[in-house]
Amino acid sequence: MKLHNYFRSSASFRVRIALELKGLAYDYLPVHLVKGEHKSEKYAAISASGLVPALETDDGELLSQSMAIIEYLDETHPQPPLLPADALGRARVRALAQLIACEIHPLNNLRVLKYLVRDLKVEEEAKNTWYRHWVRSGLELFEKELARLPAATYCYGDAPTLADCCLVPQIFNGQRFNVDFSGLTRTMAAFEACMRHPAFQKAQPSNCPDNEG
């Protein structure tokens, strides 16, 4: 398999975690977002929408959207599972993942920050406030959702799931912008449990070949 991705992209990081959790080897193919490589003609052949990550399967199929890719990996390589065995558990884990992937992260990705600055003439400080607002307020909702679930090592239960694949990159992102994580007890406990796990360590941006530090 080949993963077309960027070290700092949260969505890429999610898929790298899943690949490491599954113990699947893959070729790392960097796409430099800041240099605009995702908008090149070459990359258009890989991803119609020009987004990272894109997973290229051994059969040459090209898959997009990180959560869809992770579910595909989970279905085609079931061990260890990244979703619970029961429908209710799966709904809980998917909802946690989507709370991050649909409510928090979309507001903070590169093209949105660029639009704020270029089109809305938002100053640097207001842009950073925007960033921190959506991460902090989104994680507060995440914490409330976790608080209603049974005690767990990770986001849901005692093994990493799709929810943890989404949580960890979001925390990394927040750290870069000095988001306040205080009081997010369950959330940060799950994050710390993940960071003690070798798969999450291995997948992190600082271990990527295209890492710029």
Which residues bind to its own copies, rule: CB under 8 A?
A: 48-51, 61, 63-65, 67-69, 71-72, 75-76, 87-88, 90-92, 94-95, 98-99, 101-103, 105-107, 112, 115-116, 119-120, 122, 126, 129-130, 133, 141-142, 144-145, 147-148
Residues 202 and 25: beta-carbon distance below 8 Å: no
Which residue number, 129 or 207, has a Cβ lying nearer to its own copies? 129
Structure tokens at 107: 């507001």
Residue 141 CB, nearest approach to its own copies (Å): 4
Residue 100 CB, nearest approach to its own copies (Å): 10
Structure tokens at 70: 């992770």
Residues 155 and 190: beta-carbon distance below 8 Å: yes
Residue 213 CB, nearest approach to its own copies (Å): 28
Residue 48, classed as helix, strand or coil, is coil
Residue 185 CB, nearest approach to its own copies (Å): 14
Residues 137 and 184: beta-carbon distance below 8 Å: no
Which residue number, 20 or 71, has a Cβ lying nearer to its own copies? 71
Which residue number, 38 or 197, has a Cβ lying nearer to its own copies? 38
Q: To the nearest 10°, the Cα dihedral for 39, 35, 68, 150?
A: -150
CA distance 65 to 122: 29
Which residue number, 48 or 195, has a Cβ lying nearer to its own copies? 48
CA distance 141 to 9: 23
Which residue number, 81 or 201, has a Cβ lying nearer to its own copies? 81
Sheet strands side by side (includes 2-5): 27-30, 2-5, 54-56, 62-64
Residue 79 CB, nearest approach to its own copies (Å): 15
